[in-house]
Amino acid sequence: MLCVRWYLRYTLSYRDLEEIMMERGLQIDHSTLNRWVLQYSPELDKRIRRHLKSAKGSYRIDETYIKVKGKWKYLYRAVDPKGQTIDFMLSAKRDRCAAKRFFRRVIQSDHAAPPYAMTVDKNPAFPIAFEEIKDEGLIPKGCKLRQIKYLNNIVEQDHRFIKRLVNPGMGFGSFWTAKNTLAGFEAMNMIRKGQVRGVPKGDILGQANFVSNVFGLV
C-alpha cells in the first residue's frame, strides 16, 4: 500500500519506485508494482467514498483529454464551488450518451447534495443530455444548466493534478488500465484536497494513516 499510495500521489514512475524500494532493502519488480496499482486503485476509490465530506451547491463539469493506446479519450470530471471532487468518468466518446451517463453518475453520488445548477462548457451534447435526465426526474426541477466558461475555471484548474500524474507516463496501454489507474489518481486527489472527514488538507501523516486504516493495516 505504501508503493500504491506513493505512485498515486506523487510524480513517480514504476521504475522510480523499484529503485526507492531497493534502497529500503526490498526487491520489487516494476511490473509487480504496476499490478498492485491496477488492483488496489479502484478499491481505494470505493473505500473512501463513505468518508467524504458532503459536496454542495452547483456542479462544475468539464472534460479533459487522456491518451489511451495512442488515441485521445475523455475524462469527465465534476467539482463543487469549493473545488471538492464530486465524481469522474473515463469515456471513449464525447457525445450525448457519454454526457448522460456522467450526469447520472454525479447525481447519484452518495456524498453530493442535489445541485441548484450545473455549469458546463460549450459542448452541444450537454444541453440535450441535461433535458433528457431532467425528464427522467433525476435532476431537481429548479436546477438550471449554465454554459458559462469562466465559472468552470475551478474544474479546469483541478485537472492539473491529474494531468501532472498522467503526462509523464505518455498515455495508457488499454482502456481498462487507464480506468483503474485514474480511479486511484482521483481518490488520492480527493484525500490530498482534504475531502475526507477528520483528515485536513496538508496533514500528510493523517492522509497516509487514513489510507492504511481503510485497508485495515496497522
* pLDDT, tens digit, 9 for 90 and up, residues 185-199: 999 999 999 999 999
**All three cell numbers of 116:** 441548484
pTM of the model: 0.93
According to CATH, what is the number of the domain 59-158? 3.30.420.10
pLDDT band, residue 63 (cuts 50/70/90): very high
Residue 140 confidence (pLDDT) = 83
Residue 128 confidence (pLDDT) = 95
Dihedrals phi, psi of 37, to nearest 5 degrees: -60, -45
Reference 14, options 150, 145, 144, 173; nearest CA is: 173
Q: Sketch the domain layout of the chain as residue ranges.
A: 2-52+176-214, 59-158
- Region 83-99: mean pLDDT is 95
Dihedrals phi, psi of 24, to nearest 5 degrees: -90, 5
